[in-house]
């Protein structure tokens, strides 16, 4: 029988009515056998996520009044969900245990993880599935680094005889039993790991949007959803700021060749976005040339100029060793006959003056120039490969929008075109690119 691992985000589990929607979704498809819940999220815009309350509570351990008050908010949320669902998940006792344990922990990880732990217990009772504590299958080394190999073995061994289980997201434990969490939003990673561990046919990631959009809807009103996207395309878009799930969640599913389906708990009939490793040629063509557009602000371009640079051996190496010394990574390095430019995320440069002085010295430049407030915009799509006229269409649209392009980079994979423009042209660039290819 087919297996689907389904992960539900915090807003999908914010209260009992959301739990009920989730149950309907799960029972609608018998393949949905392994469930990974987040902690209860916001019920309304000013609400506080349970995870945030837990961090707050942990930090207030020395202040009894705040600690008690904050913990009460957490307690009420779980008791209310349990009561409204009419299940007995032993919440009252579990909450007492958590409150007491929190006082003895040396890091906030234990406290933060309880949001998922308690929600997982309610979910298991509500669905009638086996509760599998993530501490028994998601393995971290004693130094706190995640251990992927042991985790995969632990999940497959544990699930061998468990056909239907709830595994709380976000945390795991070291062999000695210390709880460790992933970074925020880490339940996505748990879902991907469980999917790989049980060799699922699909990993469904249920959230509060109907998949990834072709552009940021704050910039392009009514941006269309992406139906199918490859892992590579998504990586490009995610790197450039299009967030749909935790960055580290892609890898385990991708390694195991499991498609990820982003779906909307509040609109389960919407198609969502399917993330796959490969996509057939005719499907690429039917999707259109461009899959998505994303961008990031706040870069700078440092241009080194030196006469006869093109004949000089080792110039690039010297420039890059300076970056290495400053622990800086660069995004792009376009070069001309007498110039070499470095595009760097400006907030990562702690000492600009020193960096420029070191570059000037190491490369013996004639001049060095810096341009601030640069945006990088990626126009991504497998359909661009071999498709003549794509660049012409894009640049014509940008000229029409009166955008000045500072740099162009197209990798030989032809999967993306990256542009550098002034931050002030960020919105106009994304809109023009969107309109050129999508509308």
Closest CA to 116 of 248, 8, 262: 8
Report the residue count for the chain: 439
Answer for which of 172, 185, 211, 383 binds ligand ASP (CB under 6 A) is 185
Rule CB under 6 A: is residue 184 a binding residue for ligand ASP? yes
Answer for which of 8, 140, 170, 203 binds ligand ASP (CB under 6 A) is 170
Closest-by-Cβ residue to ligand ASP is: 187
Answer for which of 168, 186, 252, 295 binds ligand ASP (CB under 6 A) is 186
> Do residues 192 and 249 touch, judged by C-beta distance below 8 A?
yes
Rank residues 7 and 32 by Cβ distance to ligand ASP and give the closer one: 7
Binding letters toward ligand ASP, positions 104-123, x by CB under 6 A: -----------x--------
Give the DSSP H or E segment for 203. Answer: strand 202-207
Buried b or exposed e, range 207-244, using 16+ CB within 10 angstroms: bbbbbbbbbbeebbeebebbebbbbbbbbbbbebebeb
Rule CB under 6 A: is residue 252 a binding residue for ligand ASP? no
Residue 49 CA to residue 53 CA, distance in Å, equals 6
| Bridge partners of residue 203, in order along the sequence | 5, 260
Rank residues 4 and 7 by Cβ distance to ligand ASP and give the closer one: 7
Rank residues 169 and 272 by Cβ distance to ligand ASP and give the closer one: 169
Rule CB under 6 A: is residue 172 a binding residue for ligand ASP? no
Rank residues 18 and 51 by Cβ distance to ligand ASP and give the closer one: 51
Rank residues 81 and 289 by Cβ distance to ligand ASP and give the closer one: 81
∠ Cα 102 105 110 (to 5°):
70
Answer for which of 4, 14, 140, 169 binds ligand ASP (CB under 6 A) is 169
Residue 20 CA to residue 113 CA, distance in Å, equals 23
CA atoms within 13 A on the CB side of 97: 9
Helix, strand or coil for residue 327? coil
CB of 356 to ligand ASP, least distance (A): 39
The Cα-based distances of 10 to 70, 77, 99, 117, 413 in angstroms read 19, 13, 21, 13, 37
Q: What tokens does 101 get?
A: 């344990």
Residues near 107 by Cβ (< 8 Å), separated by ≥ 6?
none
Rank residues 49 and 296 by Cβ distance to ligand ASP and give the closer one: 49
Rank residues 185 and 197 by Cβ distance to ligand ASP and give the closer one: 185
Rule CB under 6 A: is residue 10 a binding residue for ligand ASP? yes
Q: What tokens does 169 get?
A: 């997201």
Answer for which of 11, 12, 38, 273 binds ligand ASP (CB under 6 A) is 38
Residues 41-80 that bind ligand ASP (CB under 6 A): 49, 51
| Span from 133-141, 181-189, 256-264, 310-318 in contact with ligand ASP (CB under 6 A) | 181-189
Rank residues 186 and 272 by Cβ distance to ligand ASP and give the closer one: 186
Helix, strand or coil for residue 224? coil
Buried b or exposed e, range 8-27, using 16+ CB within 10 angstroms: bbbbbbbbbebbebbeebbe
Rank residues 261 and 406 by Cβ distance to ligand ASP and give the closer one: 261
Residue with tokens 């990586």: 235
Rule CB under 6 A: is residue 132 a binding residue for ligand ASP? no
Rule CB under 6 A: is residue 83 a binding residue for ligand ASP? no
| Span from 94-102, 186-194, 377-385, 415-423 in contact with ligand ASP (CB under 6 A) | 186-194
CB of 291 to ligand ASP, least distance (A): 26
| Span from 55-63, 121-129, 180-188, 418-426 in contact with ligand ASP (CB under 6 A) | 180-188
Give residues in contact with ligand ASP (CB under 6 A): 10, 38-39, 49, 51, 115, 169-170, 184-188
């Amino acid at each position: 029988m087919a297996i689907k691992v389904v992960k539900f985000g915090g807003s999908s589990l914010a209260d009992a009515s959301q739990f009920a929607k989730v149950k309907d979704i799960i029972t609608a498809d018998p393949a949905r056998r392994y469930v990974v819940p987040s902690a209860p999220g916001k019920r309304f815009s000013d609400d506080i996520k349970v995870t945030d309350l837990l961090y707050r509570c942990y930090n207030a351990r020395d202040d009894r009044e705040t600690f008690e008050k904050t913990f009460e908010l957490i307690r009420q949320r779980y008791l209310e969900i349990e009561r409204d669902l009419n299940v007995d998940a032993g919440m009252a006792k579990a909450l007492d245990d958590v409150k007491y344990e929190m006082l003895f922990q040396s890091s906030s990880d234990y406290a933060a993880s309880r949001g998922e732990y308690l929600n997982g217990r309610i979910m298991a009772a509500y669905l009638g599935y086996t509760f599998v504590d993530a501490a028994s299958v998601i393995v971290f080394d004693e130094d706190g680094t995640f251990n992927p190999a042991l985790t995969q073995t632990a999940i497959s061994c544990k699930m061998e005889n468990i056909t239907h289980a709830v595994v709380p997201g976000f945390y795991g434990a070291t062999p000695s039993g210390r709880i460790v969490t992933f970074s925020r939003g880490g339940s996505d990673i748990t879902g991907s790991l469980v999917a790989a561990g049980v060799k699922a046919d699909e990993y469904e990631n249920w959230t509060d949007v109907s998949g990834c959009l072709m552009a940021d809807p704050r910039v392009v009103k009514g941006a269309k959803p992406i139906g199918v996207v490859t892992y590579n395309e998504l990586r490009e878009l995610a790197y450039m700021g299009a967030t749909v799930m935790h960055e580290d969640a892609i890898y385990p599913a991708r390694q195991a060749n499991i498609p990820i389906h982003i779906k909307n708990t509040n609109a389960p009939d919407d198609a969502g976005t399917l993330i796959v490793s490969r996509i057939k040629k005719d499907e690429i063509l039917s999707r259109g040339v461009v899959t998505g557009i994303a961008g990031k602000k706040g870069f700078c371009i440092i241009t080194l100029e030196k006469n006869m640079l093109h004949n000089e051996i080792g110039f690039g190496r010297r420039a890059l060793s300076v970056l290495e010394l400053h622990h800086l990574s660069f995004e792009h390095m376009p070069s001309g006959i007498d110039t070499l430019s470095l595009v760097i995320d400006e907030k990562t440069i702690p000492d600009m003056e020193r960096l420029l002085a070191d570059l000037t010295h190491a490369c013996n430049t004639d001049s060095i120039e810096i341009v601030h407030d640069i945006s990088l915009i990626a126009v991504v799509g497998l359909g661009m490969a071999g498709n003549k006229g794509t660049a012409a269409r894009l640049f014509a649209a940008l000229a029409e929008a009166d955008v000045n392009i500072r740099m162009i980079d197209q990798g030989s994979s032809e999967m993306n075109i990256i542009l550098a423009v002034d931050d002030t042209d960020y919105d106009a660039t994304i809109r023009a690119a969107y309109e050129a290819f999508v509308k």
